[in-house]
Every structure is written in C-alpha cells, then in structure tokens.
Amino acid sequence: MKFYPTTKRVTMKFDMLGSGSTGNCGLIRTKSSIVLVDAGFSCKRIKEMLATYNICPEQIGAVFITHEHFDHIQGLRGLSKFRHIKFFANKNTANAIETKHGLNILWQTFSTADRLNFDDLTIVSFSVPHDAVDPIGYVFTVDASGSTGGMKSIAWMTDLGYIPSHVSSYVSDVDLLIIESNYDNDLLAADTKRPPFVKARIRSRYGHLPNEAAINFIKNNKANQWKKVILAHVSVDCNNETSIRKLLATAKGLKFEVDIAPHLKTLPKISKI
C-alpha cells in the first residue's frame, strides 16, 4: 500500500513526535519529501508514531541530526537498517556518533552553514552553543514555486545554553520556529533529583535554554515573520506548562500562535482481543 506525504494543497507540514530529555524527533512532510529531524526514540517507537500518520519507514527519505547526544540519536541504529534512508550530519557530529556509539552509518556529511538540497527541500545549518562537539540548528525551506499559501520554512533550534546574535539572522523569517524552553529557574533550583554539577551544566552557556530566555527572544524579535512558534525540549521535572504560560502572558501583542511540544506523541489505544 502506498501512502502520500501530504495533499496537494499542503506546501509543508510539521509534527512533533516528541521533545524532551527522553527523546527528540520531528516530522516534516512536503509534496515530495518525508524527513525526520533527529531520531531520539527507539526505532520501534518511531515506527509506531509514524504509523499514526499512515507513514512507514520505507517512506522516510532522510534524517537530519543536530548533535550526538543519545536523546537525539537513539533510533539511528534501527533506522540505518533501511538502506534507502539518507542520514545527514556535519562531519564532527558524524565522527562523534561513530566513535562514542559505535554506529557505522553511510553519512551524508557537510560543514556547518553549508546549503544542502534534498528533494524539494533546501536545508541550511547554523551553530548553537551546547556541550556537544559541533551542535547545530536547521532551517528547512520548501520549493514552493506556484504556491500561493501554506507554510514554506521551518527552523529547528533546541539544545542551546543561550541565543547568540547570529541565530536571529537564520530564524527570523521562517514560518515556523521550534525553540527550546527547557527549564524554569525556580523549579530547577528546587529539584532534588539532579546533583549541583548537573544543575550547573544545565544553567551554563553550553547547557539548556530557560523559559525566560526563550520567551524574551520571541517577544523581542520584532523583525520576525513567524506564523507559529513551538516551545520544545521542555523538562519533565524542572518545567511545566503553567510556568511557561505565566511568562507568555507577559508577551503582549504576539502576532503568532505559541504551542508547547509534547514529550511524546500519544499513541492510540489498541483493544486487546
């Protein structure tokens, strides 16, 4: 049975399969492409989540990896068995995955900031500050010639300790921005599961982005063209929707929708026979 990425009326569609410390994976569909951004869940779980969209691994054209941490690459071993899938990562990240995780993948490597093409997508990467060898964010733009509407560009920007000035030039004119909003300062301070050195790592300039920084960025970036913003990589223990919504309430006059990414896509219940 053959499934199609989208209807002809949809230029570009994004769905978050899950985002958080337990795993990160996004699904991008266009008229010609189905690709994943990161593969941070087991291959089995990714297959189950894709099935809710009537998509099977045989239809995935490519996987774009941001960095080598396990919550972004867990599914690579299983997905790499599907020989048609192309796996993209910058050279340092590909080497780190092979060295640290023992994965032997036929990589499509590039240098950060290179412009790539895959089917009807143009992809540009940009560096972000995180405690990985060469972490990056991505901007995906679809060839929308002849289209009069719909979403045409997506920026993926998670796992960063702060937002450098160069990032705005990459993400301000996209239709959809996925940005990390990892922790609430008070909840992180009160957390008893994490030792002080882990908390220090999270708060560092090469750790994760707090709610305040994420929301200040989206409310102060006046030149943006965003239609929607998704707050992602939200900590289970050190953050919650209430804390995020409280800060969002201070951002008056936003011209775009703001959503909070789920930690894991809910799968439909299957009745036992």
SS (H, E, C) 105-152: CCEEEECCCCEEEECCEEEEEEECCCCCCCCEEEEEEECCCCCCCCCC
167, part of any domain:
yes
For residue 59, the enclosing domain spans 12-260
Asked if residue 179 is part of any domain, the answer here is yes
In angstroms and rounded to an integer, the radius of gyration of the C-alpha atoms of the chain is 18
Neighbours of 267 (CB within 10 A): 11
128 touches 160 (CB < 8 A)? yes
**CATH code of the domain covering residue 160:** 3.60.15.10
User: How many domains is the chain built from?
Assistant: 1
**pLDDT tens column, 37-80:** 999 999 999 999 999 999 999 999 999 999 999 999 999 999 99
Q: What is the dihedral of CA 137, 234, 255, 176, to 10 degrees?
A: 30
Region of 79 (left: φ > 0; alpha: ψ -120 to 50; beta: rest) is alpha
- The answer to whether 118 touches 86, Cβ cutoff 8 Å, is yes
Give the model confidence (pLDDT) of 251-266 as tens digits.
888 889 999 999 998 8
Q: Is the pLDDT of residue 20 over 50?
A: yes
2 within domain boundaries: no
- pTM for the model stands at 0.93
Would you say 159 and 69 are in contact if contact means Cβ atoms under 8 Å apart?
A: yes
* Residue 7 banded pLDDT, cuts 50, 70, 90: very low
